Structures are given as structure tokens and as C-alpha cells.
Structure 1
Amino acid sequence: MNHDQVQARLSAMLDHALPAAEAAEITLHLATCAECQHAWAAQQALQTWIKRDAVQAVPAGLVQQLSQHLAQQTAAPVLIAAPAPATVSEKPTRTRPLWLWPGFAGLGGVLAGGLLTLLLLPRAPEAQTQIAQEVFASHIRALQAGHLSDVVSTDQHTVKPWFAGKLDFSPPVHDLAAEGFPLIGGRLDYLQQRPVAALVYRHQLHVINVFVWPASTTHQPAPRLLQQQGYQMVAWQQEGMNCWAVSDLNTPELQKFASLLQQH
């Protein structure tokens, strides 16, 4: 199997839904393929996060309120008066409003029921949520494995050239030692089904991972702040790149770090 075939089956393998022979072939591939190992670790981390944190209860009372509204709408009678005989002096009959026609009698109830269904059905994760999950998993994996850097250096002119030939883009690398956020190295990582640059910074005893890869659009949205299990993430675009910073720093400090990077 090639990389795409293996990675397309990782979710099924995680659920033990593959034939034994196919699972054994994938296991053999994973033992020798670093790229697919990263994808497999991300799948495992995502499943752990979903089981632990992604399930959220519908707010108390909301289902009851919507159910009552639905009952009221569907139970409301539709009154259609019989037409009175026309006379010469009678004014023309006014057209009945659209919502009083029998075909629209239960429209309010249908809408309420549809809203209730949408609230109760599981929602597919948005693209930003999926990226955040991968970024968080990669940050934790690097910390746990003790493999923060492939190139260890505080010199941006050493770290940036190291990526040449290893990526199809050149990540922006800036040293912020003077501002209290020294660069300590970089490594290759894997997000969004592609290799990305991971730049590593420190602030006192806190590690900051900055994941960088080319943006698919020139539109630069405002920086976004996300939180995950006590970790903070800031996402923005800079120099044509998507940038995601993640750390256990407090929110103001991580936002300050991201702002300093954007100013360079």
C-alpha cells in the first residue's frame, strides 16, 4: 500500500473494522513510514479528544422549550371561514394571507421541529476545529516524545536554511530573544495531510510550537484564539502562510508573542 491508501484506512483500523490481513499490512507499513506514523498518532489523539471532550449536552431546558413550541404550533387550529354570499355593495374579498392556507398550517411546527432536529443531531467539526485538534495533538506528541527540534539553534539564519529542500516552501523564521521569546530550533511535522514547518520558541520554562504552512488564500483573517485542555492556541496569517502557535502560556503572553511575530 502507498501513503494515501494507508492513511485512508487509519480511521477504520482504529475502530478495528479492517480484515486481519489488511490490518497486518498497514501495521507493517507503519513500522517503517514516519509520515504515516504521524497520521496514525493524529488519528489516535483525535479519537481520545472526541471521547473525552467533544460530546456536549444540549443546554438544560432547551429541548423542552422547543418541544412545547412544536406542540403549540401543531395543535393550533386553522380557522377558515365559509365565504359569505356576494352582494352588489360588498367590497371585494381580501386575499387570505399565505400562512392561513391549509398547506401552510403546520409551517411553524415544521420549522420548530427542524430546529430541534438540527440541535440534537451531531455536528460535523468545522475546518478550523479540525486543524486545532491536529495542532494540539502534534504539540503534545512533540512534548511527550522529547523530540522538539530536528535542528537546534537560536540563530534564525541557521534554522531557516535548514528547511530548504525539505519543504516546498520557505517558512518565515524570526528570533524574538530580545523580547523574551528566544528561538530554540525547528523540525518537520505533518498537518492537514502535508509536511509543515514547526518552529520552537521558549518563554521562561514554557515551550511554544509555531506550525507554519502556505495559506490557500490571500485573505488575511483576524487572529483567532482557541483553547484546548488548558493549552492556548493563536491562529493567524503572515507572509502568505498559515501560522498556529500553541503553548501552556497564559492567554495575554501568547497573544503578545503572536503579535511580535506578526510585526517582523
Structure 2
Amino acid sequence: MSMSDEELGTLIRRHAARHMPPEGLAARIGQAVRAEEAVAASPTPAPAPVRRNRGLWQGLAWFGTGAATAWGLALVLLATPVPPSDALAEGVTANHVRSLMASHLADVASSDHHAVKPWFAGKLDFSPPVVDLAAEGFPLAGGRLDYLDGRTVAALVYRSGPHVINLFVWPAADAKVQAPVLSARQGYQLVHWTQGGMQAWAVSDLNAAELQNFAALLRERTATPAAK
């Protein structure tokens, strides 16, 4: 059955009337679209990347601080000078070993302290005390010039059986008396003290007790006018 044009138009108008949108829907849709556009125009930074970046910079800052501290500590350690007593102990030991290796223990080889002491005259700007301890088991073997603490010093050579004792003597910077101090370097025993305006370093491969006894005898003898 065919439908006339008038009937078809009536049917379309009825259908459109049933499906017309509610009043105000278009306005609400437009408002929502405009709100979305405003949000898109001014986006809020995502929090996660910010936290990650902050953590990264904090990590770099801590690393930089730690590295700077480590370098600072290294520079302080490198710049810290060796204590004078340690440096002298190393020098005394080295000179002792050198004298044994070069077989040059004495420039004046004599067991007579009356011959050894005058030999230093004119060679040094001081007069080292020279003591004969043969009766106590430490005979004098001679003397020589050596170099320590940035200056020429007297080196007196004593023996105890097959053992050699090098006694280095030179003026002390401080006239204050210092009791003997025992130390060890490279298998050698060292004793150093200050007395009568002189500082003395004794070094040998003797055991500690024997070298301390040697030092005590020297200090006792040099404390009397007869030893000068």
C-alpha cells in the first residue's frame, strides 16, 4: 500500500516530536565542553615526575657533599706534615743502615775518646760529648760526620760484641731535659733524649733493654763535668 506525501510528512513530524531532546540539554552540553577546554588550557603538573626529580636532585646534592668531604679529608691527610720525631727516627735509621752497608762507620777510628773528641774541632759548630764506656761493655770505636735534621751532626760509634751502635748528637732547639724515649724502626731499636743542651739518638740492632742501658750509662756520664 502506497503512502501519500501528506501522510509521510505527518509520520515524520510525530517521530521527531517523540525524540526531541529535553529543554536545556544543549546549554548544559555547551557548558561542560567549555569547562573541559578550560582545564586543558591550564594543565596541573603531574606529582610523580616532580617527586622523582626532587629525589634525583637531592641524591646529587648528597653525592656532591660526600665527594667534597672525601676530597677535603684526602687533602688534609696529604697536607699534614710528618711529626718531627717520626721524621728524625726515619732519618736516624736510614743513616745507621747506610753506614753499615757502606762500611764507613768512622772518619776517625779510635777507641780513645781523647783522640776522637778533638777530631771534631773545626768541623762542627759545637763540641759533642765523647764518653768511653769500654768498662761497661760498650767500647768506643770512633766517630764521623753525618747529616740529620737539616744540619751536620756528630756520629759516635760504639760496639757491644758484634753489634754496632750509632750515637747521633747535635744541639737541641730546646734546652729542656727530655727523658729517654724508646722506639723501633725496620727491626732496629732507637732511644732518643735531650740533656745538657744536646739531643742524642742511639740506634742499633741490640735488644731494647741493652740499648736502654747504654743510653742510661751515657746520660749518667755526660751529666758530670768530667765527660765534657
Q: TM-score, normalised by structure 1?
A: 0.55
Q: Which residue does 1:129 correspond to in 2?
A: 86
Residues 123-145 of structure 1: per-residue CA shift (max 9 Å, x gap) = 43101011111111110110000
Q: Which residue does 2:226 correspond to in 1?
A: none
Residues 160-194 of structure 1: per-residue CA shift (max 9 Å, x gap) = 00000000000000010000000010000011111
- Structure 2 CA distance, aligned partners of 1:229 and 1:177? 28
Larger radius of gyration: 2
- Contact 2:176–2:195 (Cα < 8 Å) also in 1: no
Residue range with higher mean Cα deviation, 193-202 or 123-132: 123-132
**Offset at residue 218 of structure 1 (A):** 1.3
Structure 1 residue ranges (4+ consecutive) displaced by more than 3 angstroms after TM superposition: 120-123
Question: Secondary structure, in 3 states, of the residue corresponding to 1:249?
Answer: coil
1:200 aligns with 2:161: no
Q: Which residue does 2:18 correspond to in 1?
A: none
1:159 aligns with 2:159: no
Q: Which residue does 2:168 correspond to in 1?
A: 211
Which runs of structure 2 are paired with 1:77-226 in the superposition (5 Å)?
117=73, 121-122=77-78, 123-226=80-183
- Contact 1:234–1:245 (Cα < 8 Å) also in 2: yes
- Structure 2 CA distance, aligned partners of 1:238 and 1:246? 17
1:233 aligns with 2:177: no
Residues 16-62 of structure 1: per-residue CA shift (max 9 Å, x gap) = xxxxxxxxxxxxxxxxxxxxxxxxxxxxxxxxxxxxxxxxxxxxxxx
Question: Secondary structure, in 3 states, of the residue corresponding to 1:178?
Answer: helix
Question: Secondary structure, in 3 states, of the residue corresponding to 1:242?
Answer: strand
- Contact 1:236–1:243 (Cα < 8 Å) also in 2: yes
Q: Which residue does 2:33 correspond to in 1?
A: none
- Structure 2 CA distance, aligned partners of 1:173 and 1:242? 14
Percent of residue pairs bearing the same amino acid type: 59
1:263 aligns with 2:220: yes
Letter in 2 for 1:191: L
**Offset at residue 117 of structure 1 (A):** 4.2
Letter in 1 for 2:217: L
- Structure 1 CA distance, aligned partners of 2:151 and 2:198? 14
Instruction: Select the structure that is richer in strand.
Output: 2
Question: Secondary structure, in 3 states, of the residue corresponding to 2:211?
Answer: helix
Question: Secondary structure, in 3 states, of the residue corresponding to 1:245?
Answer: strand
Q: Which residue does 1:84 correspond to in 2?
A: none
- Structure 2 CA distance, aligned partners of 1:238 and 1:251? 20
Question: Secondary structure, in 3 states, of the residue corresponding to 2:88?
Answer: helix
- Structure 2 CA distance, aligned partners of 1:239 and 1:222? 12
- Contact 1:232–1:254 (Cα < 8 Å) also in 2: yes
Question: Secondary structure, in 3 states, of the residue corresponding to 2:135?
Answer: helix
- Structure 1 CA distance, aligned partners of 2:163 and 2:137? 11
- Structure 2 CA distance, aligned partners of 1:238 and 1:204? 27
Question: Secondary structure, in 3 states, of the residue corresponding to 2:193?
Answer: strand
- Contact 1:153–1:183 (Cα < 8 Å) also in 2: yes
Letter in 2 for 1:189: D
Residues 173-227 of structure 1: per-residue CA shift (max 9 Å, x gap) = 0010000000010000011111100000000100000000001111112211110
- Contact 1:172–1:239 (Cα < 8 Å) also in 2: no
Q: CA RMSD in A?
A: 2.1
